[in-house]
Amino acid sequence: MSPYYRAGYPQPPAPATHNDGAAVVSAILGSFGVVLGLVLGIPGLVLGPIAYFLGKGAIGRIEGSKGTLGGRSAAAAGWVIGVIATAVGAIVTLTWFVIWLVAVSGPPPT
């Protein structure tokens, strides 16, 4: 018990002992998904959902650990960046697909 503990006030939570590994992986995969999705499209569609679900799961584990696990900020960042990577990947993939269709269709018939 803290020497500054006063009756009627809750004790502050103990600091987290370590971070959830999936939280960090989620943030990294989401970042790669955005960067690669801006150029190619498909990697954003693959890495974005993975980052989303890893981040969402890590937030659940961190909340359920009652303060023994840290990394909630990284998990939330990975979750949000995963959504962004998916959206960017979808837009860029659709754009590349339209460009490809226009290129292979050739000139209009006369």
38-70 pLDDT, tens digit per residue, is: 988 899 999 999 999 999 999 998 888 887 888
User: Has residue 4 got a pLDDT over 80?
Assistant: no
Higher pLDDT residue, 87 or 6? 87
pTM of the model: 0.77
Mean pLDDT of 106-110: 75
Spatial separation of the C-alpha atoms in residues 50 and 21, rounded to whole Å: 14
Residue 88 near residue 38 (C-beta atoms within 8 A): yes
In sequence order, what are the residues at sequence separation of 6 or more whose Cβ sits closer than 8 angstroms to the Cβ of residue 50? 29, 33, 82
Residue 85 near residue 34 (C-beta atoms within 8 A): yes
Residue 8 near residue 62 (C-beta atoms within 8 A): no
| pLDDT computed for residue 71 by the predictor | 85
Average pLDDT, the chain: 86
SS3 5: coil
- Boundaries of every domain in the chain: 18-105
